[in-house]
Amino acid sequence: MNTLAFSATIAAAAFCAGFLGSLTGLGGGFIITPVLTLLFGADIHYAIGASLISIIATSSGAAAAYVREGFTNLRVGMLLEVATVPGALVGASLVAVLPTRLLTVAFGLVLLVSAWLTTRPRAEHLTADAPADALASRLRLDSEYPTAAGPQRYRVRRVPGGFALMWVAGVLSGLLGIGSGAVKVLAMDQVMYLPFKVSTATSNFMIGVTAAASAGIYLRRGYVDPGLTMPVVLGVLAGSMLGARLLFGTPTRRLRMLFAAAVAVIALQMIYHGVFGGR
């Protein structure tokens, strides 16, 4: 296959990944690395480099839409970036030290947990009348978000716990070239009791900054190859824009389950590949 055909095939695969990712709300970066390594035989270092860069594109695009609708909590995002950015720097530095096979297995495991996290039923915490949390109040994190019935107030809780989990999300993002959206949402909606829509919007808002922290290290170490990254970025971006236009923010439960099941199969394949080598 010459470079032109290779680039076109990768762009088409990336388009599908971006389309499915935004349609199901799981994010297209999720499956870019498995697609590149398992299907195209790329080294995982090139794959996570291309994936990290595409994540910046798709999350910035999604964040732009959410922030205009008023779901994003700027203060929560900014504060938690103090945790994700150093985490990402640690993770990105670890890539050079860890053996490729361990990296592959770790990727599969994180993919598996993320798929499970995003499909599990979630209970919305109603916090409008809850007592104010001292730390959250001092940091002015409580806010409101638009609903069909008008603006709804919410209170933020357990800031240190969310902060710690965000650091972990940052490490995983830098180590594996992913957005860690599932872990970020977990930290916000389960630990800090933010509403789902606010968690998702703020997570998207943070993903680009977390990824940009690792990007410097990735670029210097040569994980970002322009020839490979070019079709991936353009394909994922076009696919996710189309997906978002078709079904903005309301993935059906069945579609999510279906996609998560497929992701789980891919994850197991990555783990197998890492443990036993070869294909």
Tell me which residues touch another protein (CB under 8 A): 1-4, 6-7, 36, 40-43, 45-46, 53, 56-57, 60-61, 63-65, 67-68, 70, 72, 74-75, 78-79, 81-82, 85-86, 89, 139-140, 208-209, 211-217, 219-222, 224-231, 233-234, 237
Nearest residue to 63 (alpha-carbon basis) of 201, 242, 241, 183: 201
Instruction: State the maximum Cα–Cα separation within the chain, in Å, rounded to a whole number.
Output: 63
* Shortest distance (Å) from residue 22 CB to another protein: 14
Residue closer to another protein by CB (options 73, 199) is: 73
* Shortest distance (Å) from residue 144 CB to another protein: 10
* Shortest distance (Å) from residue 265 CB to another protein: 23
What is the enclosing helix (H) or strand (E) of 101? helix 100-119
Q: Answer whether 209's CB lies under 8 Å from 32's CB.
A: no
Q: Hey, what are 157's tokens?
A: 């809780």
Residue closer to another protein by CB (options 105, 139) is: 139
Q: Answer whether 39's CB lies under 8 Å from 262's CB.
A: no
Nearest residue to 210 (alpha-carbon basis) of 241, 238, 172, 164: 172
* Shortest distance (Å) from residue 256 CB to another protein: 25
Residue closer to another protein by CB (options 110, 213) is: 213
Nearest residue to 49 (alpha-carbon basis) of 221, 172, 277, 274: 221
Residue closer to another protein by CB (options 25, 231) is: 231
What is the enclosing helix (H) or strand (E) of 219? helix 196-221
* Shortest distance (Å) from residue 52 CB to another protein: 9
Q: Hey, what are 24's tokens?
A: 């199901």
Residue closer to another protein by CB (options 89, 194) is: 89
